[in-house]
Amino acid sequence: MGYRRRAYFDQWPGNGPFSHLPPGQRPGQAYGGRGYGGGRGANPQACARFPGRPRWWWADPAYTHQPPTPAPQDELSALEDCKKELGEEKASIEQEINDIETHLKELKSKLESEKKQPTGQ
């Protein structure tokens, strides 16, 4: 393997598929550079992937993202739905407690009747 000399017609540096083009006309440069929004027109203060967040937001422990506050009517409807679901759950739990109490009464009466009967020997 020897040193490959650049041909006389290669006037631009680089060995890639677009080495015949000047750097400003290569696809990576003409269409935004490398990565996410790294070319012309990108905001250097904004995150490249999430433009609504500041740059390096994920590494800044002091950054606190406030979640969007819901509209009052949406919050009211959500709370009413939650209240209805909790009421249904409360009713089912009360029914289960009543079933357990009746079962306990049956078991106690069965135990009392067994105590009253003499054991046959």
pTM equals 0.40
Q: Quick one: average pLDDT of 90-110? A: 97
The CA distances from residue 31 to 37, 49, 65, in Å, are 9, 16, 31
Q: What is the pLDDT of residue 5?
A: 54
Angle at 53 between CA 47 and CA 57, to 5 degrees: 75
Q: Which residues contact 41 (CB under 8 A, 6 or more apart)?
A: none
- The predicted-structure confidence for 1-15, as pLDDT tens digits, reads as follows 555 555 555 577 777
Percent of the chain past pLDDT 90, that is, above it, reads: 35
Report d(CA 40, CA 75) in Å as an integer. 43
| Greater pLDDT, 65 or 116 | 116
Q: Are 93 and 83 in contact (CB under 8 A)?
A: no
| Greater pLDDT, 81 or 59 | 81
Q: Are 24 and 14 in contact (CB under 8 A)?
A: no
Q: What is the pLDDT of residue 95?
A: 98
Report d(CA 110, CA 104) in Å as an integer. 10
Report d(CA 92, CA 96) in Å as an integer. 6
